[in-house]
Amino acid sequence: MNVDNWQDGWTIYIWLIAGAMIILAAIVALRWASKNEQFDEDIKYLVFDENDKDKMSPEEFKKSQEVMKAQLQRREEILKEKQEKP
């Protein structure tokens, strides 16, 4: 089977298939991210700790501490779920 003997216009189908595969991969990646709590607006607060208190406003520091506490609690829940599963 010689590619030179194919009629004109066959390359568009390769581009269409490649585009469809890219869109499908993006959908799968977004679905995975959504199910694994990857879209968290408060993640920016997880890089701060007690030493950063003077660099933040009192409201931001309070929010940072709340987010850290919630994140640690969620981590413990996930680890507990993983231990319960065989």
* Tokens coding 33: 């991210």
CA distance 62 to 21: 44
Task: Report pTM.
Answer: 0.58
pLDDT for 71 equals 87
Q: Does position 64 have pLDDT exceeding 80, yes or no?
A: yes
Contact 61, 53 (CB under 8 A): yes
- Sorting pLDDT into bands at 50, 70 and 90, what band is 86? low
Tell me, what amino acid is at 38?
Answer: Q
Q: Where are the domains of the chain?
A: 1-39, 40-86
The model's pLDDT over 1-56, given as tens digits with 9 standing for 90+, comes to: 566 777 778 888 999 999 999 999 999 999 999 888 888 777 777 777 788 888 88
pLDDT for 38 equals 83
